[in-house]
Amino acid sequence: MSAMSSLPPFDPADPIALDTLLSEDEIAVRASVRQLCADKVDPFIAEWFEAGAIPDIRGLAKELGSLGLLGMHLEGYGCAGMSAVDYGLACLELEATDSGLRSLVSVQGSLAMYAIWQWGSEEQKQEWLSRMAAGEAIGCFGLTEPDHGSDPASMRTRARRDGAGPDADWILDGRKMWITNAPVADVAVVWAHTEDGIRGFVVPTSTPGFSAPEIKHKMSLRASVTGEIVLDGVRLPADAVFPEVRGLKGPLSCLNEARFGIVWGAMGAARSAIESALTYSREREQFGKPIGGFQLTQQKLADMSLEYNKGTLLAIHLGRLKDAGRLRPEQVSYGKLNNVREAIEICRTARTILGANGISLEYPVIRHANNLESVLTYEGTVEMHTLVIGQALTGVAAFR
């Protein structure tokens, strides 16, 4: 008997047997998120994307909360306390449905909740975290401004004390731009300059002077609500500020969490595009045979599969490092830069395999490709992550 006959069969859905790197519990977490997406979002997502709206975002947030997906990698305060790899697998499944769905979960859990969990006072945690974990309160994270994106240290939003002493109220003035979930949020984590450096504020969105008009006409991430934040003399009590953290360390620590989710999520969009292209290539016939039988199509499929599996392997490796408490921010940059760049290439190539059908919302491919244009830019652009890696390698910062 040859050695080959004792090998498990080749599985096109898992060609290099990456599932052997996951535990049964991790595979079960993945299956439950996949099921939620299949039941609650997949049948409607193309419609939501086309309409540029999620009709019942509060209901959806509660569904996600009931499965423990909001702040799922945080401990206590009603959070599920799962591992980094569990969280990554969830992000992959959510983004296989749509980057907008994964963005909703990332912004809630890794930006807004993480900021409060990591930097908030006990009172701030008690007030917000369990409601946010249940999806009863939606959060957003305001760092970017109309004139300051990659360079947030130059932000113009200001917080000043109204009076002397530690009990004086804060007054916030400024504008934030491109803020996911802002128009539907109950609470905003807002970063502002103070005389003591950049500090974070927990702002209930019902506070007078706070408004969050929706940004319309997006051609990407259409199944996600994006807005401005306008802060016009917003008066907050003295204890609305994160007590300890100063400087960019605060927001950057949160972005690092969210970027980790993107390392995985981007591979979800890629997987969905590959599945679509593979099925299509078997069914679509031209010149008397399936287009999957032409060498040029096979080369595309082979390259897409190669990059998807390399990217997923990288995600699992970084996840294991994170669970061991050893993941550095530069390493997250490797994952974010590589996986989003490869995912968008995979989606664009998949689009060519589908021919004209590739531009239709009947298939997920153009939706994923368009969504990834945002993912390429937010949470640090391709260029910024390249410069982070360049600095780590050379010891010289080329940002300015």
Ligand X SMILES: Cc1cc2nc3c(=O)[nH]c(=O)nc-3n(C[C@H](O)[C@H](O)[C@H](O)COP(=O)(O)OP(=O)(O)OC[C@H]3O[C@@H](n4cnc5c(N)ncnc54)[C@H](O)[C@@H]3O)c2cc1C
Binding site for ligand X (CB under 6 A): 107, 141-144, 149-150, 178-180, 221, 226, 374, 377-378, 381, 383-384, 387, 399
Query: Which CB atom, from 150 or from 299, has the smaller least distance to ligand X?
Result: 150
- 334 Cβ contact partners less than 8 Å away, ≥ 6 residues apart: 314, 318, 389
Q: How far is the CB of 196 from ligand X (least distance, A)?
A: 21
Q: How far is the CB of 146 from ligand X (least distance, A)?
A: 8
CB 201 within 8 Å of CB 251: no
| Among candidate residues 2, 3, 27, the one with its CA nearest the CA of residue 13 | 27
Query: Which CB atom, from 149 or from 292, has the smaller least distance to ligand X?
Result: 149
Query: Which CB atom, from 52 or from 290, has the smaller least distance to ligand X?
Result: 52
CB 379 within 8 Å of CB 320: no
How many CB atoms sit inside 10 A of residue 396's CB?
7
Cα separation, 208 vs 236, whole angstroms? 10
Q: How far is the CB of 47 from ligand X (least distance, A)?
A: 19
Q: How far is the CB of 17 from ligand X (least distance, A)?
A: 35
93, 95, 228, 379: which one is catalytic? 379
**379 classed as catalytic:** yes
Query: Which CB atom, from 142 or from 261, has the smaller least distance to ligand X?
Result: 142
Record the tokens describing residue 13, joined without a space: 């859905």
- 283 Cβ contact partners less than 8 Å away, ≥ 6 residues apart: 290
Counting beta carbons within 10 angstroms of the beta carbon of residue 148, is it exposed (0 to 12), middle (13 to 18) or buried (19 or more)? middle
User: So which residues are the catalytic ones?
Assistant: 379
